[in-house]
Amino acid sequence: MTRGSLRVRLSLAAAALITLALIVGGAGLFLIFDAALDRRTSDELNHTARLLAGGVGFNAQGNLTVEQKPADPRYAVPYGGLYWQIDSAGKEPLRSASLWDKTMALPGIPTAHMQHHVTIDLPGVSKGALIAVVRTVQIASARAPLVVITVAMDRDQLVASRDMVFWLLPPSLLALALSLTLAMAAFVHRALSPFRTLRSDLSKVHKGQDERLRGTYPSEVQPLVNDLNRLVSQQENALVRAQAQAADMAHGLKTPLAVLNALARHIEDNQPALAAELDEQSEAMQEQVSRTLARARTTSATGLQDRRTLVEPVVTRLVSAMKRLQNAKQLTWRVEVPPGAVYFGAEGDLLEMLGNLVDNARKWARQEVNITVVTSLRGGSITIEDDGPGMSPAEMSAISRGQRWDEAVSGTGFGLAISLDLALATGSEFLLSPGNVGGLRVMIVWGAA
């Protein structure tokens, strides 16, 4: 997952919310468990208190007696953790053996009969604190004093239970959080599947494998698909119109240019300076028309497409054609193109650029023209060098501004400018530098080479 990914952000947000919810829920569960533990302990102590209340009484001497004592052995072990005590005003209290030599001091001896038990905290017998239940019993006899029954437990035993829950609950919640996070990540991955399909379909449109986004999408995504299809259609229509307008402009200028050339020929004998000016201006107009047409062809050919073109057939075809032209037969052509080298673009764009560059190198070369192609999985480059006079830095800069390089050789200069336009339009780099054999080196770089 890449940084800034919607899936990453949704998964992280879900993980954060799940963690927060489980922390709050875990704290709530712990508090509920703590309250339930106290309640359960209170109920058990109250059960013992009721058992004692059912058997408490006074003997003939007026001392407290109890018929049945709790069976739990902890009441018989000194400081065993469970304790009971029976008090009555003016009487010697009865105590469990677990109290040993201690007594449980109540903060206030009840003086009236209580219909329900009361849970309180008392100072510990040996250490810590006690949780105690207090009940009162009114013996059904004349002038019998009120009997107070206290049953208690060391809170240390409750603390041990809480500690066990405290150490078991966080790992359980952590495992639950991981499980829920993975489940949410899978849910997000599934929920975003229409966008992966959309990306795949868009890739097909980019590569020219399809003209439109196909398939059925969820109702939330379908409007976006429809808008993208409309955008593709509008762009295609705009490109077709631009190409048609450029072609119309070229055809419309052919006749005026032909008339200007004819006028220049007609007045050449009488007014050579004017004829030369007309020739120069008509040729400049023709070059501009050619450049505009080249741009239009490139724009319409690329569009939203991301095509792949084998370089070797294009170079082979171009060199074969150039060898038949004037001054090319005596040149040495050194061509190095690895089999399978791929250009990231349409064949027409590559042919247009290389045609201008190779023809320019042929016109200026003295003895040799070198064509070298280097490619990788992520990009590539093609270098064209000649051993001609080359160009100065100022002339190279003029090419980048769309100006002609030299007026002496027909077609020179604007071919480089047109190739520059095509390279930029197709997302490639166009580099000019002095060559290794003394002339000009032109390099076209595409992809991440």
Number of folded domains that form the chain = 3
Residue type, 43: D
Consecutive H or E run containing 307: none
CB 285 within 8 A of CB 317: no
Residues 6+ apart with CB under 8 A from 115: none
- The verdict on residue 25 lying in a domain is no
What pLDDT sits at residue 413? 55
CA-wise closest residue to 106 among 123, 93, 92:
123
Residue 422 is assigned to a structural domain of this protein = yes
Q: Are residues 128 and 247 in the same domain?
A: no
Q: In terms of domains, do 374 and 391 share one?
A: yes
Q: Who contacts 231 (Cβ-Cβ below 8 Å, separation ≥6)?
A: none
Is the model's pTM score more than 0.85?
no
Pairing of strands 64-66, 379-386: unpaired
Give the C-alpha separation, 385 to 380, whole Å. 17
Say if residue 265 is in the same domain as residue 316: no
**Angle CA 224–227–228, to nearest 5:** 85
Q: Are 82 and 96 in contact (CB under 8 A)?
A: yes
Residue 439 lies in a domain: yes
Asked if 207 and 305 count as a contact pair (C-beta separation under 8 A), the reply is: yes
Dihedral sign from CA coordinates of 123, 126, 127, 131: negative
Q: Does residue 324 share a domain with residue 396?
A: yes
The 8-class DSSP code of residue 93 comes to: P
Residue 9 lies in a domain: no
- Same domain? 317 vs 296: no
Residue 371 within any structural domain of the chain = yes
Which of 159, 193, 212 lies at the terminal end of a domain, its last residue?
Answer: 159
Last residue of a domain, one of 256, 275, 302: 302
Concatenated DSSP letters for 104-128? ---SS---S--SS-EEEEEE-SSSS
Pairing of strands 332-336, 368-376: parallel
Three-state DSSP state, 158: helix
Query: Residue type for 72, please?
Result: D
How far is 379 from 36, CA to CA, in rounded Å? 69
Q: Is the dihedral of CA 398, 403, 408, 410 positive or negative?
A: positive
> Which runs of consecutive H residues, i.e. helices, occur in 133-192?
155-191
Whether residue 413 sits in one domain with residue 325: yes
Residue from 365, 352, 349 nearest 415 by CA? 352
- Name the one residue in this structure whose structure tokens are 């009555």: 88
User: Could you tell me the mean pLDDT of each successive run of 10 residues in the chain, 449 residues long?
Assistant: 72 88 89 87 89 83 82 88 85 86 78 70 80 83 76 85 83 89 87 84 76 81 85 79 72 73 76 76 70 59 61 90 78 89 84 87 88 87 90 77 46 68 82 85 82
Distance CA 432, CA 430 (A): 7
Quick one: 438 and 318 in the same domain? yes
Residue 77 belongs to a domain with what CATH number? 3.30.450
Structure tokens belonging to residue 192: 């975003």
Please tell me whether residues 405 and 435 are part of one structural domain: yes
Give the span between the Cα atoms of 50 and 84, in whole angstroms: 12
Q: What are phi and psi of 278, to 5 degrees?
A: -65, -40
Asked if residue 42 belongs to a domain, the reply is no
Distance CA 44, CA 190 (A): 52
- Please indicate, yes or no, whether residues 323 and 435 belong to a single structural domain of this protein: yes
Q: Which domain holds residue 432?
A: 309-447
Q: How many CB atoms lie within 10 A of CB 31?
A: 10
| Contacting residues for 48 by C-beta, under 8 A, at least 6 apart | 70, 72, 82, 84, 133, 151
Same structural domain for residues 285 and 342?
no
Q: What is the pLDDT of residue 293?
A: 66
**What single DSSP character describes residue 255?**
H
**Is 138 part of any domain?**
yes
The token pair that represents 322 in the structure block:
């150039």
Q: At which of 159, 185, 206 does a domain end?
A: 159
Across the chain, which distance is largest between two alpha carbons, in Å? 162
DSSP annotation string for 368-387: EEEEEEEEETTEEEEEEEE-
First-to-last alpha carbon distance for the chain, in angstroms, is: 25
Residues 359, 297 share a domain: no
DSSP SS3 for 398? helix
CA 353, CA 301: separation in Å to the nearest integer?
13
Residue 32 domain-assigned?
no
CATH of the domain at 400: 3.30.565.10
Strand pairing category for 129-138 and 146-154: antiparallel
Whether residues 316 and 434 share a domain: the answer is yes
